[in-house]
Amino acid sequence: MLALIAGLLTGLSLIIAIGAQNAFVIRQGLNKQYVLLVVGICSASDALLIVLGVGGLGQLIQRHQTILDFIKWFGVLYLTWFGVRSLLAVFKDQALVAANEAKTSLKKMVGRTLGFTFLNPHVYLDTVIFLGGIGGQFKSHKWDFAAGAVIASVLWFTTIGFGAKAASKFMSRPIFWKILDGFISLVMFALALLLAFYKLK
C-alpha cells in the first residue's frame, strides 16, 4: 500500500504540470471533440510507458548518455516549437474559438493524440526515466508503485479532459483562448529552458 500511494503521489506531481500533452487534452475537452478517446489513449499510453520504465527500461536508458542527450535536445526543440505555435495562435482569432473549429476525423484525432504522446520527449522523461527510476527502488513492490502511478495518470487525464468539456460553455470567448494559448506558450518556453540546462545524469 505504501508503494502504491508513493506511486500515486509521484505520478501526480509529475503529470500535473501543464505540458504539451496536457495542453492538447485540455483543448480537446474545450472543443468537445473525442474527449473519451483522447483521455483513453493518453492514459493507456502512460500506463504502457510507466510499466516499461519500472520494468527496467528507465535504468537501461540512464546508462547510455548518448540516448539521454538525444532525448534532452529533441525535447528542447519540440517544446520550443510547441511554444512558438501556441504564441502564434494568440494572434489568430479564427483558430481560437472552439465552437468554430472544424470537426476532426477519427483517424486524424488518433494520429494527433499518439503524436502528442509519443513524439513528446517530456513524456519519456516523466514516465520511463523518472518514474521508472524511482519505481525500481521499491524492489519487490515496484509494481505496486507502478499501479499507483497509472491510477494517477488515469485520474488526471479524466479530470482535465472532462473537466474542460464541462467548463467549455464558460470559456467560449476568444479572449479566453488568447490567454490560454499565451499561458501555454510561456510554459513551453520555460520547460524548454529548464530542460536545456537540466543535467539528466
- Confidence (pLDDT) at 95: 40
Q: Examine the pLDDT at 40 and tell me if it is beyond 90.
A: yes
Torsion of CA 95, 97, 101, 104, to 10 degrees: 90
From the list 97, 103, 107, 101, the residue with the least C-alpha distance to 41 is 107
Contact yes or no for 96/175 (Cβ under 8 A): no
pLDDT band with cut points at 50, 70 and 90 for residue 190: confident
Cell numbers for 101:
473549429
pLDDT band with cut points at 50, 70 and 90 for residue 13: low
- Confidence (pLDDT) at 88: 83
Query: 91-106, pLDDT tens digit by residue?
Result: 776 443 444 455 778 8
Mean of pLDDT values over 161-173 = 77
Q: Examine the pLDDT at 150 and tell me if it is beyond 70.
A: yes
Give percent of the chain with pLDDT exceeding 90.
Answer: 19
More confident residue, 60 or 30: 30
Model confidence, pTM = 0.68
Q: Examine the pLDDT at 137 and tell me if it is beyond 90.
A: no
* Three-state SS letters, the chain: CHHHHHHHHHHHHHHCCCCHHHHHHHHHHHHCCCHHHHHHHHHHHHHHHHHHHHHHHHHHHHCCHHHHHHHHHHHHHHHHHHHHHHHHHCCCHHHCCHHHCCCCCHHHHHHHHHHHHHCCHHHHHHHHHHHHHHHHCCHHHHHHHHHHHHHHHHHHHHHHHHHHHHHHHHCCCHHHHHHHHHHHHHHHHHHHHHHHHCCCC
Which of 43-47, 72-76, 81-85 has the highest mean predicted lDDT (pLDDT)?
A: 43-47
